[in-house]
Amino acid sequence: MKINFLINGNKQVLDVDPMRRLLDIIREDLQLPGTKESCGEGECGACTILLNGEPVTSCLLNAVHADGKEIQTVEYIAQQPLGKLLIDCYDETNAVQCGFCFPGFLIASYHYLKNDGEPSLEKIRYALSGNICRCTGYTKIFESVLLACQRLQAGKV
């Protein structure tokens, strides 16, 4: 099946099995390894991408779900001003250890910052509730996103 989609601003036309996992298309066919696989069952959020602007777990989607859609992966988000702000805040608060979960956290945090951005710990916790980290613990991650929200609100971006 031929599928057409935009990924990170680039048009792609692929002839693939419509049931091939979107995660495998992104990592293997398109050589964008920033999106990680951990559980492979839709539980951990490591494989999160933006599909038409919404965070989704790409391990649960197939090629057919991408047809006619727009995808953004962590490679793209990390280059955007809000993505860079978040990366700086993760860094300053020492929120990252192995970093395996962070592509997913970056996508979920970016979506929150872009669509709400209120510096509310409760809302941030909810926005990141689909992402699991096995090493850092969540306090520093939430604090780093809070810091990014505060900087954005203060116009420091």
Binding range to ligand FES, per CB under 6 A, among 35-43, 76-84, 111-119, 121-129: 35-43
Residue 8 near ligand FES by CB under 6 A: no
Region of 13-21, 40-48, 66-74, 145-153 interacting with ligand FES (CB under 6 A): 40-48
Q: Is 39 in the site for ligand FES (CB under 6 A)?
A: yes
* CA-angle at 7, arms to 28 and 24, nearest 5°: 20
Q: Is 24 in the site for ligand FES (CB under 6 A)?
A: no
Q: How far apart are CA 33 and CA 38, in angstroms?
A: 13
Give how far Cα 54 sits from Cα of 71, 88, 109, 156, Å. 9, 23, 12, 25
1 binds ligand FES (CB under 6 A): no
Give me the residues that bind ligand FES (CB under 6 A), please.
Answer: 37-40, 42-47, 57, 59, 96-101, 133-136
